[in-house]
Structure 1
């Protein structure tokens, strides 16, 4: 089986979508699928257009088209797939709900994004999404195409050796004691204000490991907090190796307002870290309060949870061990098997054998 697994604007995209796509490709390779990463003949759309003008093909050959973004390149792939009876899978990493409060003006753009996403995802033979929660969001648009939840998974192999980064990273950023941390792009939808206000109410060292916008694209909260951080908060900027973050931190604090799943939280769990989450619907299907995490609703509850963990190392250890077991349920092996199952179903339907 030859599958296009396409991430439009690859090389510029950071964060969960890029991680999810890399993990898909790794999972598919492990189960023997021939993965094509770009749909274009040549080095990109320009070469593809030149090929088409001289009578050649513009698109590579593949049995299934799987797109991970929603821009013009993905639209072109979708149209090509429909014209040529190639099963089309569109992966919903983007919803209007999780687009808001990300960068400047996105909260204003998000409502207008909903009808576009409804149109785009409805072209697919199958929409994949990371959670039952996201499936419910898409049904409300409404997207009437078949939708199947498939976990983004967690690449435990990419985290191996994280412990060895501990002292170096803590020294680099002057971190001490029980370090409360977050990993990923810095913006308000991820709970930035809550993260900083909880820090102000405690004496623990806080660190947010991840890129943040400094120019015109930066949201108001991002500009404010990264320029005026509480004394005990460090914004590290982009980290070349995510293992440094998971090595340095002790308690993963993720007060996000909306997620489709939360890959970095799974990565923290795979590293055996105690995790403190905002109690939002998507986490109900994956994590259990008091077993593999602590869930909170208010800033006071977040502060109380951190104080409990600081005073009770045994609780931190127990939550971390249980979290490892939860993360194991999201292995890339399972991701690969689930993706192949969906592709094969589409191909069987196309051939009329199902």
Structure 2
């Protein structure tokens, strides 16, 4: 056998099954496979074509396989599960890592505990829907946990939400991280001045920035309802929404004066450096990346009380506390405070940057995930038909 073939067979192969293929989940997976490839692991990413993930994962060192799957469960599920099973037979991984609800459903049905399986919800599916859909999603999450060797949450609050929902899992918590080299702190204000000049923003303009997919989860509609109160209290203030998504047209139609839609940006850093504060008014999360990136750039953030929010913030109580979701007035108050006092915003931004650099390095996250893999590979016992029937 050629030396290269023997080397390939001796490497740990990790099979990542992913849907969706854009946004924070795609970023997390790309960061993981980049670190795994650098560590000598052979990462394989199976995902639907389109979106940003396939190209990004390939560029990070992963082998990418096409897995055609819809975003939500439906009549195509049996075909999607069969497709995962075929890919698993071809790849023969030592460990499977499934990301988000849909891939978690299809992947666990295909594997059924025969190899170590990590399920990472990236926010719970039952929080994203209501009524009958929420009940069905919760029923599946409770049932499907039997085929998760470990359920990996990105915040303690995400784990607690799963426990409160009655999911009896074997839990691990590894918080999300960002690349501190890419999101450098704006120590002297030079990056802010350059960003404002490049974006044609006058230096004295109070600016809030919201980075995220334009969709119900991210809550930009609540932010637009809050903005008139902010604009009345801080004359000349502007709000920029960075991103695109299914709710873009509706949000543009509802936007009050002083709101700018920047669209999808490959590099959001100029907007973060130009901002006085960043805001993410989410309805649900696991632990969002956008606030970590903003704080790493030296910007204070205004968040809603969702999973991962408090764990993202610096300790000590100086930073604005998360506010209730769906509450425009509560959201407006800390934005007014930060935009009206640039000195306060700058000071809180410096402490936020120090906090993220000490606790939110993605390299630490990736090392912890590899440590989890090694733990599971040494302790896993394949599930039998009898054990999965309990």
| Superposition TM-score tier, normalisation by shorter sequence | 0.7 to 0.9
Cα offsets for 1:104-154 (capped at 9, x unmatched):
xx7763343221222233311001011111112222332222011111211
Instruction: Classify the secondary structure of the residue corresponding to 1:86.
Output: coil
Shift of 1:237: 2.0
Paired with 2:338 and 2:122, the residues of 1 have a C-alpha distance of 33
Paired with 2:185 and 2:253, the residues of 1 have a C-alpha distance of 33
Cα offsets for 1:189-239 (capped at 9, x unmatched):
3232331122111141001101121xxxx4xxx654321311111122211
| Aligned equivalent of 1:38 | 46
Pick aligned residue for 1:24 from 24, 32, 44: 32
Cα offsets for 1:163-183 (capped at 9, x unmatched):
387136533x89971210110
| Aligned equivalent of 1:291 | 318
Paired with 2:302 and 2:291, the residues of 1 have a C-alpha distance of 9
Q: How many residues align?
A: 331
Pick aligned residue for 1:254 from 271, 280, 283: 280
Instruction: Classify the secondary structure of the residue corresponding to 1:157.
Output: coil
Cα offsets for 1:279-323 (capped at 9, x unmatched):
446423332474344544454444332333234332112211111
Q: Could you tell me whether the CA contact under 8 Å between 1:275 and 1:319 is conserved in 2?
A: no
| Structure 2, unpaired ranges of 5+ | 1-10, 49-62, 69-81, 383-390
The runs of at least 4 consecutive aligned structure 1 residues that moved more than 6 Å come to 39-42, 173-176
Shift of 1:96: 3.2
Pick aligned residue for 1:322 from 330, 351, 355: 351
Paired with 2:162 and 2:110, the residues of 1 have a C-alpha distance of 24
Tell me how large the CA RMSD over aligned residues is.
3.5
| Aligned equivalent of 1:243 | 269
Closer, same or farther: CA 30–313 of 1 in aligned 2, 3 Å: farther
Paired with 1:57 and 1:333, the residues of 2 have a C-alpha distance of 28
Correspondence 1:126 to 2:156? no
Paired with 1:276 and 1:306, the residues of 2 have a C-alpha distance of 7
Paired with 2:47 and 2:215, the residues of 1 have a C-alpha distance of 32
| Aligned equivalent of 1:336 | 366
Correspondence 1:65 to 2:96? yes
Residues 141-152 of structure 1 correspond to what in structure 2 (within 5 A)?
141-152=165-176
Paired with 1:57 and 1:170, the residues of 2 have a C-alpha distance of 47
Instruction: Classify the secondary structure of the residue corresponding to 2:260.
Output: strand
Residues 151-300 of structure 1 correspond to what in structure 2 (within 5 A)?
151-160=175-184, 163=191, 166-167=195-196, 170-171=199-200, 177-201=205-229, 202=231, 203=235, 204-213=237-246, 218=247, 223-280=249-306, 282-287=308-313, 288=315, 290-297=317-324, 299-300=328-329
Shift of 1:75: 4.6
Q: Could you tell me whether the CA contact under 8 Å between 2:243 and 2:262 is conserved in 1?
A: yes
Q: TM-score, normalised to structure 1's length?
A: 0.79
Q: Could you tell me whether the CA contact under 8 Å between 2:207 and 2:239 is conserved in 1?
A: yes
Shift of 1:58: 3.5
Q: Could you tell me whether the CA contact under 8 Å between 1:66 and 1:89 is conserved in 2?
A: yes
Q: Could you tell me whether the CA contact under 8 Å between 1:15 and 1:185 is conserved in 2?
A: yes
Shift of 1:258: 2.4
